[in-house]
Each structure stands twice: as structure tokens, then as C-alpha cells.
């Protein structure tokens, strides 16, 4: 199975957040890139911050763009999203629906089991995993302890060293989350967003990683910056390829570059 991942689309009215960020243009370029891939990914996971402000009008811009994808896709909310508007706009995505306070789901129809967690706190930037969400995770993982599984969550369950983002990180439930997943040898990856760049860390007995944004990236600064900065390093996506030796992750950039040239 070939699982693609993109994250942090931040769709907004063009230029509303910053005149520099052309989120729609960037997402279209990303979709074109994904649609050109051969082999085509079986599934695309989009790990949150689908919109900039969670407004209905932003989801209505996003939806027809995602309908250009030539592969099925799964959505999870990020801290910039609204659970209500996400559910309402993507009504045909049955896994998003229901009256549960959180958007958490497990999907068993692909060779990789997908378990999605909701780390968001309405109107706040940081993430939390409360006891209710963690209890759901424990029950869900116990249902399929053998099948290769990936966990999707917006806020990564580790400190990244980018201090100002860590202050907006998963501030509650991180240790309990690691304790719950640690016994499971079948969790191939924990796939996250939020950081707008690629970062990898061991959590429990598995590998957790963050995915670049499709538009702007968070500046890499492991010092003590006075503020958070974004830049336009090439946006990217990830391909998680399931084979005989488990899951292999490729980080790729979006853009037009010289080549390919024969050796
Ligand atoms: Fe984001």
C-alpha cells in the first residue's frame, strides 16, 4: 500500500492571512504533483489545518480543490479547523460524522489500518489528549493488535526543539499517549502535522513524524527566537510505502526543478 500525506493547507480567502501566502495556488500545485505520481498513492491522509480560520467559506473553497484528487483522501482536524464546519462540508465522509465531541476514527479497509486522533481544543492553538480520547485510543488499538497500523494526529506527541511551536504543542496527555502505544509492535508510524516541516522522533516503540505544509513552512530555529517565523522553503509531501520490510517513508518536495537527467 502506498499512503501519501500532506498537511497544513491553511486555505483562506486568497491573501487574507498574509499577502505572501497563496494557499490555494500552493494546494493546486500539490494536487497536480500527487496526481502525476506513478504508481498513484492508494490513499492520501491530510493531517489537519485544512483551513486558516475554520470558516465555512474556507471549507467551501477547499472542497472542490480536493475533489480534483485522483485518489481517496482522509481528513483530520487541526487547531485552525472547526469540527462542525468540517463535518458539515464533508458530509459524504462518513468517518467524520456522528455526535461524538471529537473526530476520531479507525478505518480497516486498507492493508494499513488507519487510526485517527483529534488533538484539537476549540479556539486554542495547542493540543490535548484528554482521558476520553485516550480511552478511545486504548480500546481501538486493542481491537487489532496485529495489523500494521498508522496513527494520524495533528499535534505531534513529542517536543520538537522549535520552542515557540512546542509551547503550542500537545500539552496534555503526551506521556499517557506514549504509555498506551508502547506495548503495540504493530504501530508503524504516528503521522502528524502542525510543524510545517519534516521532523522525526521515536515515541514509545515506534516512529513519529511531522509533514511539511503545502504552502508556508515554519522557520527552523533551535535557538531562542523572539517570535515565530515562516518562510517559503519548498513545500512537501510524504509517501509511506508498505512493503516486505515494513513502512518506508519518502520525503519529497513540491515544485519544478531541472531534470531528470540520465546518468
Ligand atoms: Fe498549520
Which CATH number fits the domain that encloses residue 107?
3.60.21.10
Q: Could you read off the pLDDT of 87-107 as tens digits, one per residue?
A: 999 999 999 998 899 999 999
Q: Answer yes or no: is pLDDT of 28 > 60.
A: yes
In this structure, is residue 205 part of a structural domain? yes
Q: What is the pLDDT at residue 19?
A: 75
Contact of 183 with 203, CB cutoff 8 Å: no
Q: Answer yes or no: is pLDDT of 213 > 80.
A: yes
In this structure, is residue 104 part of a structural domain? yes
* CB burial of residue 251 (10 Å; 0-12, 13-18, 19+): middle
Name the one residue in this structure whose C-alpha cell is 500552493. 26
Q: What is the pLDDT at residue 209?
A: 98
In this structure, is residue 9 part of a structural domain? yes
In this structure, is residue 262 part of a structural domain? no
Pairing of strands 236-243, 246-253: antiparallel
Q: In the 8-state DSSP scheme, what is residue 36?
A: H
In this structure, is residue 190 part of a structural domain? yes
Q: In the 8-state DSSP scheme, what is residue 197?
A: S
Pairing of strands 217-218, 149-152: unpaired
How far apart are the CA of 11 and the centre of ligand 1, in A? Answer: 10
How far apart are the CA of 145 and the centre of ligand 1, in A? Answer: 31
Confidence of residue 53 (pLDDT cuts 50, 70, 90): very high
How far apart are the CA of 244 and the centre of ligand 1, in A? Answer: 33
How far apart are the CA of 9 and the centre of ligand 1, in A? Answer: 7
How far apart are the CA of 139 and the centre of ligand 1, in A? Answer: 29
Total count of domains within the chain: 1
In this structure, is residue 109 part of a structural domain? yes
Confidence of residue 52 (pLDDT cuts 50, 70, 90): very high
In this structure, is residue 55 part of a structural domain? yes
How far apart are the CA of 47 and the centre of ligand 1, in A? Answer: 9
C-alpha cell at 75: 481528513
Nearest to 199 by CA among 222, 181, 215, 179: 222
Nearest to 156 by CA among 206, 209, 219: 209
Rounded Cα–Cα distance for residues 209 and 222 (Å): 17
Determine the structural domain holding residue 75 and report its residue range.
Answer: 2-253
How far apart are the CA of 55 and the centre of ligand 1, in A? Answer: 15
Confidence of residue 207 (pLDDT cuts 50, 70, 90): very high
Nearest to 240 by CA among 111, 78, 68, 142: 111
Q: Answer yes or no: is pLDDT of 18 > 90.
A: no
Amino acid at each position: 500500500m502506498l499512503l501519501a500525506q500532506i498537511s497544513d493547507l491553511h486555505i483562506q480567502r486568497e491573501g487574507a492571512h498574509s499577502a505572501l501566502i497563496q494557499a490555494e495556488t500552493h494546494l493546486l500545485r500539490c494536487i497536480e504533483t500527487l496526481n502525476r505520481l506513478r504508481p498513484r498513492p492508494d490513499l492520501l491522509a491530510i493531517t489537519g489545518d485544512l483551513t486558516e480560520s475554520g470558516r465555512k467559506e474556507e471549507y467551501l473553497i477547499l472542497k472542490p480543490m480536493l475533489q480534483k484528487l485522483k485518489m481517496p483522501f482522509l481528513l483530520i482536524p487541526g487547531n485552525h479547523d472547526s469540527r462542525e464546519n468540517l463535518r458539515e462540508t464533508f458530509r459524504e465522509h462518513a468517518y467524520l460524522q456522528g455526535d461524538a465531541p471529537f473526530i476520531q476514527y479507525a478505518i480497516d479497509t486498507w492493508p494499513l489500518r488507519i487510526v485517527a486522533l483529534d488533538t484539537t481544543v476549540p479556539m486554542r492553538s495547542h493540543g490535548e489528549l484528554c482521558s476520553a480520547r485516550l480511552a478511545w485510543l486504548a480500546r481501538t488499538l486493542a481491537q487489532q493488535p496485529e495489523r500494521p497500523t498508522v496513527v494520524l494526529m495533528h499535534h505531534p506527541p513529542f517536543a520538537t526543539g522549535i520552542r515557540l511551536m512546542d509551547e503550542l504543542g500537545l500539552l496534555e496527555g503526551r506521556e499517557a499517549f506514549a504509555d498506551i502505544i508502547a506495548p503495540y509492535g504493530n504501530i508503524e508510524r504516528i503521522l502528524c502535522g502542525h510543524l510545517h516541516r519534516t521532523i522525526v522522533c521515536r515515541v514509545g516503540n515506534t516512529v513519529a513524524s511531522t509533514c511539511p505544509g503545502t504552502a508556508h513552512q515554519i522557520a527552523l530555529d533551535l535557538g531562542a527566537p523572539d517570535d515565530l517565523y515562516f518562510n517559503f522553503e519548498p513545500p512537501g509531501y510524504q509517501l509511506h510505502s508498505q512493503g516486505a520490510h515494513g513502512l518506508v517513508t519518502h520525503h519529497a518536495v513540491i515544485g519544478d526543478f531541472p531534470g531528470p537527467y540520465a546518468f
